[in-house]
Structure 1
Amino acid sequence: MTNEPQIQKEPQIPTNLRLLLIVEEIAKAGSPLKPMQLAEVLGLPKPTVHRLLQTAESEGFLQRDLDGRSYGPGPRLRQLAVRTMSSEHLRTGRLAILKGVAEDIGETCNLATPDREGMTYLDRVETHWPLRIQLPIGTNVPFYCTASGKMYLSTLRDSTLEAVLKSRPLEALTDNTLIDPDALRRELAETRARGYSQDNEEFMMGMTALAVPVKDNAGRLLATLSVHAPDQRHSVEDLVDFLPRLQTAAQKLSELHNS
């Protein structure tokens, strides 16, 4: 009787987990993935991956990237992420941090997350001043002319940024809006180098803003923390003085969401 070596088979992924694991891989990657990449990582047959991606796309959980071949988060998955971040436990801690920043600075503070078409305000704590800028929770603002949006754009890889900039003309919302793509690219490069972004009356006349990133465990942008104020009270240069306070709060928010 011979003792033949036993061949151990790779564990099979249960059918009801396959789509969840595909969604998880796309979320972990932080950028759109092709079916072949997913098949290699998960060890699933390519036809199976294609079928699951088509199902997720038809239901709105995933959507094709601008290249037509890769897949990224769809509207339902993005809404799921926002609702998860808005759970009672997280929101209570988050609002406590925002309230502390707003009281220290004396101006409105916002937490915004990137969506397909712009940044969406997830939470905010208002200033006590009678003169304030009204941008309620759920407001969606453009990427290219807001502090939170430019912070997000500065984190994109070059090919994705180019696709975003070419997707539609840049509209001048004020006299200060950067509508020249080259000027905006330079602004984003500066934003990337210094670690914060600013809005000098580019989205709305009379409003200035400053934003810093809130990062996940992999160092990727999860959300943005920003402060905005009427220019009668603070210029952009004034807001830069509050940068250390914003960065400390952003680190606390990162720890809260990554714990």
Structure 2
Amino acid sequence: MMNGQENKRNGNKKTPGGTQLLSGKQIQSVQRAIDILNCFNLTNTELTLGQISTRLGLNKGTVHGILNTLHMNGYISQNSSGEYLLGAELFNKASLASDTKRSILIDRSHNYMQNLSDYFQGNCTLFRIDELYLQLIHSTEPHNSTFVVRRANSNMPLYCSASGKLVLAHLRERLLNVYLKDAPFPAYTATTRTTADALQNEFEKIRKEGFSYENGELFEGVGALSVPIYSSKDNHLFATLSLTGMSVTIARRKKEIFPKLAEVARRLQQTIDF
């Protein structure tokens, strides 16, 4: 039996519950199963036993045994040609992981957002970026206010919403040009920018100032200010944090809102980027 000195020498650790963890130790069969799953990607959705064996440098017997185990548990399936593909159980787990991630994002951001809502008497909204799609993660409202804007959703048009314009301003030139081919866009109010030239000027201003400002462009009398949250891994736009309220209030307090939103965005960057 391994004694305390041997445990210490081998770098063993214990969890708060007393379970021993072996730092750096891998279970070979588990790692090989993970390696097999990682063989599949957008360009390799269906693979033969031979292809998987060659990619991993493992004999077919070993790979076949692991594939059978994964197949029995729903993580691998086979088509009519006998090729292997990812199983439905992975999609179920992916959906569960997405829900769990959203819950974690809400838990880590709520207090910051609620404080902003109460301080500025407006809605604070966190969107996660998924290509040209704003995924609503969380929204808070002030506890005591006679004016509450109930408009946060994932279907807002990008070109006339604060968070949407922030997304467009960060697009690569080629993708932005593709998006602007549909201009002129419908005008929701008298202040909606609808032409490609007007929007390009707006995007340049956003890049320079570091925030996006919406002044009654989507709804009359409603304003918003949005700041970016960048990925700490590769500095791409990961999410947006915005404050929405009466346009006169947002305009009057814009210089005060921006630094406070930006400070919260910097804090969240380290806690929700995973």
Q: TM-score range by the shorter chain?
A: 0.5 to 0.7
- Given that residues 118 and 141 in structure 2 are in contact (C-alpha distance below 8 angstroms), is that contact kept between their aligned partners in structure 1? no
SS in 1 for 2:159: coil
Aligned equivalent of 2:242, options 206, 215, 226: 226
Larger Rg: 1 or 2? 2
Question: Partners in 2 of 1:184 and 1:252 — Cα distance?
Answer: 30
Aligned equivalent of 2:37, options 9, 13, 16: 16
SS in 2 for 1:14: helix
Aligned equivalent of 2:116, options 87, 92, 101: 101
Question: Partners in 2 of 1:193 and 1:82 — Cα distance?
Answer: 34
Q: TM-score, normalised by structure 1?
A: 0.67
1:248 Cα deviation after fit: 0.6
Q: TM-score, normalised by structure 2?
A: 0.63
Cα separation, partners in 2 of 1:143 and 1:122, compared to 1, 3 Å: same
1:115 Cα deviation after fit: 4.3
For residues 247-258 of structure 1, what are the structure 2 equivalents within 5 Å?
Answer: 247-258=262-273
Aligned equivalent of 1:236, options 235, 251, 259: 251
C-alpha RMSD of matched pairs (Å): 3.2
- Given that residues 106 and 137 in structure 2 are in contact (C-alpha distance below 8 angstroms), is that contact kept between their aligned partners in structure 1? no
- Given that residues 117 and 142 in structure 1 are in contact (C-alpha distance below 8 angstroms), is that contact kept between their aligned partners in structure 2? no
Q: Deviations over 1:15-61 (max 9, x none)?
A: 32122xx46xxxxxxxxxxx6xxxxxxx97xxxxxxxxxx89xx9xx
- Given that residues 121 and 245 in structure 2 are in contact (C-alpha distance below 8 angstroms), is that contact kept between their aligned partners in structure 1? no
SS in 2 for 1:160: helix
1:206 and 2:221 aligned: yes
- Given that residues 105 and 272 in structure 2 are in contact (C-alpha distance below 8 angstroms), is that contact kept between their aligned partners in structure 1? yes
1:139 Cα deviation after fit: 3.9
Which residue of structure 2 lines up, in the alignment, with residue 180 of structure 1? 195
- Identity, in percent, stands at 26
What are the ranges of 5 or more consecutive residues in structure 1 without an aligned counterpart? 1-11, 24-34, 36-42, 45-54, 60-76
The one-letter code matched in structure 2 to 1:133 is V
Which residue of structure 2 lines up, in the alignment, with residue 157 of structure 1? 172
Q: Work out the number of aligned pairs and report it.
A: 200
Aligned equivalent of 1:110, options 119, 125, 145: 125
Question: Partners in 2 of 1:256 and 1:155 — Cα distance?
Answer: 22
- Given that residues 93 and 256 in structure 1 are in contact (C-alpha distance below 8 angstroms), is that contact kept between their aligned partners in structure 2? yes
SS in 2 for 1:90: helix
1:241 Cα deviation after fit: 2.0
Q: Deviations over 1:109-140 (max 9, x none)?
A: 1111234654232211112312221125x442
Cα separation, partners in 2 of 1:169 and 1:118, compared to 1, 3 Å: farther
